Amino acid sequence: MKLVLIGAPGAGKGTQARKLLQKYSLAYIATGDMLREEVAQKTDLGRQVEEIMHAGGLVSDHLIIQIVDHRIQKDDCKEGFILDGFPRTVVQAQELDKLVGTLDAAIYLQVEDAVLLERLCGRQTCSHCGATYHQITLPSKVSGICDECGHALMQRKDDTMEAGAVRLATFHSQSAPLEDYYREKNHLVTVNGLQDADAVFQDICQGIERL
């Protein structure tokens, strides 16, 4: 099964990805993880990425697509995968289709901007395993400590109202044509992300089964 998760920062993609991984036994591939892995392994692609990032530039579509191609060739992707953070544009979506053929679903978690900003400003992430929490809606059992692995929780520097508004504007400018692209291909599953996590997951599974 080949899935793509689409959603603004704070929409709950990480939470739903973990649930989908348990149900379908898929590989989880996030753009940031891919970039860090290539850099850590000192591959040719990783060295290019590191140079660009050190210079403060943005990784090009061409390079990102190469990295995705390299990642999905690995053994853990043989049974399928979930892509989070890629594709971000129609060009990237078209190139992904060339690499993997037909997707099973592109899942769009739809959440109002006001709610997203509230989520972002209280969001905490585990520094070790990546589990996500929220200081108000989903706090850890022990303040500042991950329930899963016991490591410290951190808050991203860009999880502020001002930075969040910019990130949301960028997301919407990119996501609207991406939604249309997958809708025209009958691959889009739109889910109300304002529900509790279990209800969102149930709707995702039902949407995948309907396609």
Q: What is the pLDDT of residue 57?
A: 67
Q: Rounded to an integer, what is the distance from CA 197 to the centroid of its chain?
A: 16
Residues of the chain with pLDDT > 90: what percent? 50
The residues annotated as belonging to the active site are 13, 88, 123, 156, 167
Query: What 3-state class would DSSP assign to 141?
Result: coil
Structure confidence at residue 32 as a pLDDT band (50, 70, 90): confident
Whether 60 contacts 6, CB under 8 Å = no
What's the chain's length in residues? 211
Would you say residue 182 has pLDDT above 80? yes
Whether 72 contacts 81, CB under 8 Å = yes
Q: What is the pLDDT of residue 56?
A: 64
Q: What is d(CA 6, CA 83) in angstroms, rounded to the nearest whole number?
A: 9
Average pLDDT, the chain: 89
Whether 192 contacts 198, CB under 8 Å = no
Whole-model pTM?
A: 0.77
Domains and CATH numbers, the chain: 2-204 (3.40.50.300)
Whether 48 contacts 102, CB under 8 Å = no
Would you say residue 75 has pLDDT above 90? yes
Q: What is d(CA 78, CA 93) in angstroms, rounded to the nearest whole number?
A: 20
44-64 pLDDT, tens per residue? 888 888 887 777 666 788 888
97-154 pLDDT, tens per residue? 999 988 999 999 999 999 988 887 888 889 898 888 888 778 999 999 999 999 999 9
Q: What is the DSSP string of 64-82?
A: HHHHHHHHHTSGGGTT-EE
